[in-house]
Structure 1
């Protein structure tokens, strides 16, 4: 394997000159640059990334912490990151917490020990322990999906979860639905567990609509949990005429339960969700949902992190992304 010393000898220049050409730093005459580049082309020399990282103190690797690798949300967000990082010569190292919030802290520490240049965290919570761990991080961290409340220094890319849920509720009510059940998640997840639920409650109160005792149920993002939540809603009240699921996957679970009970969608019960997943388009009837630009979230998070790494001024601390209501046949 060729080394910088070999390239310098063949080109008749110093190792410092070769290093400057490779790193595009310092002054080199055009004549010397051409000599080095000609030898590199002739020999097919590829510089060692490890050796380069020792010189520049950069690994060109970004750690990305996902709640689940297999979800449509995660894959689309990572696709957006790859567009930006790939153009700048960065690679992504993925880890998954499997929705275990304790592992978010564990993986933050793990990635720092792997000497990544920065970290993007698709967070499921922003409790005090996690925020403190981000503050202590030796590398910059950008959070996607959760606003870091009470901290003005941790950059975040968030969706308008309250606005999206309010828009869905107004759509349901405008279409004549009044007895609306809700399937959410635990309140440790502020975006999905708190803001979306609050928009549901506020809309019901705004229109003077009663919320039945069993109409608010909690799942864990999975289809099975949506099924069980729907079962609890309808076992407590058979006259519910619509189900608002905080995620498409839990909405699909509600679909399964309603079909088992031989209830037609939307003739007997309407179902709406959030996420605009691939499955929500292809189930029958297709589900009305809210579409988030997950690829844009990934691109935005990557751009913010690169700006921080490059020492740019005026990096945004919070970036709020818009949503789009996708009306289909489930209401």
Structure 2
């Protein structure tokens, strides 16, 4: 992707503010003729073209942000996106939402389309297997959710902290037989990091681990519950709310009522159907706000690249 001049660059070369350049581009009348001519001369000299394709999509504004979610049906990602949108709209940006389906090739294709449209920035929900090299051209104008990449801004959840919160609370309640349902360790965060934290906590407290790992779905939670739940199990930690829904269905079917189910991720559906579930609130909404704020700050030149970890809390 070729680098292009921004309104900030034109403002610097013209010796005026960004808002003045915006008023010239939008043909607003509150600019003196002399200033207008100076800005227009710089625009012509530099061959500056604002995001025309973005204007064609949305009218007169040339400010667009791409949002690449991994799954359109993901409750957690939807919560984050919902909190991003008002901030983006407030600052004059319109979003283009695209779905990667955990497919690196699709991400590459989407980023190519966004580059052709000269979008201003991108918020990307990362996933295991997505290489940083593919993202490199967007380094200064991208925020990655969930995953960390060297040299990129990221907004991540506290995977280890969430598991430790649940383990500590269960131990305080007197539980010693705590099983775990998780995701395969090929997934770096939801899978490996959360599972390892469970194993480490069991070792610290002298507990015998009982675990089963599968997919990030309620079907997997249902199928794997039989493997992780042993006769002495009195508490069950699930690596996600969707896994917890499947596990609870299994417990109901087996008429097992004396196990405290815990979930990482407190989605409205889980809390509505099973309010007795002990959940960790991951801060999906807060993460969305912080991702949008970070991207806006980067695009305006007001913030360096940084890593943000959203703290978890028991709900």
Q: Shared topology, TM-score over 0.5?
A: yes
CA spacing shift, 1:52–1:164, aligned 2, 3 Å: closer
Question: CA contact under 8 A between 2:51 and 2:118: conserved in structure 1?
Answer: no
The match for 2:52 is: 50
Alpha-carbon distance between aligned partners in 2 of 1:18 and 1:324, rounded to the nearest angstrom? 43
Deviations 1:58-97 (A, max 9, x none): 9411111112112221221111111210001111111112
Name stretches of at least 5 consecutive residues in structure 2 with no aligned partner.
1-20, 37-49
Structural mapping, 1:77-156, within 5 Å: 77-100=80-103, 102-125=105-128, 127=129, 130-137=131-138, 140-148=141-149, 151=150, 153-156=151-154
Name stretches of at least 5 consecutive residues in structure 1 with no aligned partner.
1-16, 33-47, 327-331
Tell me which moved more, 244-253 or 58-67: 58-67
CA spacing shift, 1:269–1:85, aligned 2, 3 Å: same
- Number of matched residues? 277
The match for 2:222 is: 227
Q: Does 1:61 align with 2:51?
A: no
Q: TM-score, normalised by structure 1?
A: 0.75
> Could you tell me how far 1:255 is from its partner in structure 2?
0.2
Alpha-carbon distance between aligned partners in 2 of 1:179 and 1:224, rounded to the nearest angstrom? 24
> Could you tell me how far 1:253 is from its partner in structure 2?
0.5
SS of the residue 1:177 aligns to: coil
Alpha-carbon distance between aligned partners in 2 of 1:105 and 1:18, rounded to the nearest angstrom? 31
Alpha-carbon distance between aligned partners in 1 of 2:175 and 2:22, rounded to the nearest angstrom? 72
Q: Does 1:22 align with 2:26?
A: yes
The structure with more radius of gyration: 1
Alpha-carbon distance between aligned partners in 2 of 1:59 and 1:175, rounded to the nearest angstrom? 56
> Could you tell me how far 1:167 is from its partner in structure 2?
0.8
Q: Does 1:298 align with 2:288?
A: yes
Q: TM-score, normalised by structure 2?
A: 0.78
> Could you tell me how far 1:285 is from its partner in structure 2?
4.8
CA spacing shift, 1:190–1:18, aligned 2, 3 Å: closer
Q: Does 1:289 align with 2:293?
A: no
